[in-house]
Amino acid sequence: MRLSSGVEGIARIEIQKRLDLIQMNVQKELICMNRKLNIAITRIGNPYGHPNILAEFIAGQLKNRVSLRKAMKKPIELTKQADTKGIQIQIVGCYNDTRVGTVEVMLYGCFVDT
């Protein structure tokens, strides 16, 4: 297995360790069924172009108690780097045990308005 130097190599090792741990735990559960388990990871070429990944990123930021504006600005910067045409982020509801009185919306670029 060939690893590149730097952060990417460290991240790949961490992912491989977690993958091995998950595979061991699942195989222990499947041992009575006599089945083998193969886990394949596919690398997403442009992760911040996918809305589901951005939504999980924003949710993680809000769980870590990052300020609302900062949690909305960071994904916009990431999508600019990903050459996305546009993005609309809308947050409504309770945040840090307080109700957000208005709908918080941030826009970048062009997008389909439906």
pLDDT of residue 26: 79
* pLDDT score recorded for residue 23: 80
**Same domain assignment for residues 52 and 87:** yes
Q: Are residues 11 and 63 in the same domain?
A: no
**What rounded mean pLDDT belongs to the chain?**
75
As to burial, measured by CB atoms within 10 angstroms (0-12 exposed, 13-18 middle, 19+ buried), residue 40 is exposed
Residue 48 main-chain phi, psi, to 5 deg: -85, 10
Domain assignment present for residue 60? The answer is yes
The verdict on 56 and 27 lying in the same domain is no
pLDDT at 102 over 50: yes
DSSP SS3 for 78: helix
Within this chain, do residues 53 and 101 fall inside the same structural domain, yes or no? yes
Tell me what pLDDT residue 32 has.
63
Q: pLDDT digit string (tens) for 39-50? A: 777 777 787 888
- The Cα–Cα gap between 89 and 108 comes to 9
Q: Which of 67, 68, 54 is nearest to 104 (CA)?
A: 68
Rounded alpha-carbon distances, angstroms, from residue 23 to 29, 39, 100: 10, 7, 42
Question: Looking at this protein, which amino acid is placed at residue 26?
Answer: V
Chain position carrying tokens 């769980």:
63
| Residue 114 forms part of a structural domain | no
Report the alpha-carbon angle 56-61-62, nearest 5: 100
Could you read off the pLDDT of 53-98 as tens digits, one per residue?
888 888 888 888 888 888 888 888 888 888 888 888 888 777 666 6
Is residue 37 domain-resident?
yes
